[in-house]
Chains A and B, each alone.
Chain A
């Protein structure tokens, strides 16, 4: 049996939310020093862009690694848990950890992986990239 050729792909989506850089484990002075302008009473917001990087064998019938509609469904499900919310107050995952770009990227990686595993498909998630804005982004996963 010949093995199928593999390919990589990326799919992008976006969501908007508020967050505040604040750690209850730190004093006010340490919070201010660590987070600078991002430490404020109420926080601020971003238009995040999330990209999921996938890889897997190319299906010989469809010519696809995965149907992009399935990827969109997963990304929609994951980002709907964050979209138009204040992460510190409305998302349980960030009740205990600071919703930094790094932690949000790690959260998205974990959630996309969970959802992808439900498909029982050979497609793998290699990493995610989360843009806080066009000048700052985080890659998380198998880089």
Chain B
């Protein structure tokens, strides 16, 4: 059997907080259908989301960093927090489910850093649920 050793990888994850309003409702559905699908999530409410952004890169031999913290913080601030923090999410995106938001956030972060290096977003909506989107998921 071949001795297969996958390469060693370094990923740095930083957690941010994002407080926002939303409700789950689809405009094409009737009020009854929306109520059936989304129950109490169909009422306007808010969360303090935990946003975990994962960056993958080799460790720079001079600095010992795979990413400068300020660079990652600035990217998330510019692309996500400035746009979504303290806002009503439904005014910005068409679907505000955790699944969709994780995908949306990763897409916005990857666009900025084409070719590398944000590889995953995890969005914690409450202490009971957490949504993950990996870079490869965007192809599906």
Contact = CB atoms under 8 A, between A and B. Distances in A.
Contacts of A138: 10-13, 66
5 contacts: A26-B63, A98-B64, A135-B16, A138-B10, A142-B5
A30 B88 CA distance: 40
A134 interface: yes
Query: How many B residues touch the partner, as a band?
Result: 20 to 34
A142 B64 contact: no
Interface in A125-143: 134-143
B62 A25 contact: yes
Interface in A78-125: 97-103, 105-106, 109
A103 B16 CA distance: 23
B67 to A, nearest CB: 9
Interface of B: 5-16, 59, 61-66, 68-70
A36 interface: yes
B10 A26 contact: no
B12 A34 contact: no
B135 to A, nearest CB: 13
A100 B13 contact: no
Given A103-B64, A106-B59, 15 more contacts: A34-B63, A34-B65, A34-B68, A36-B68, A99-B64, A100-B63, A101-B12, A102-B64, A106-B8, A109-B8, A134-B15, A138-B11, A138-B13, A141-B8, A142-B5
B62 to A, nearest CB: 5
Contacts, number: 72
B6 A23 contact: no
Nearest to B67: A102
A102 B62 CA distance: 12
Given A141-B9, A143-B9, A135 B65 contact: no
Nearest to A104: B64
A23 B9 contact: no
A74 B128 CA distance: 33
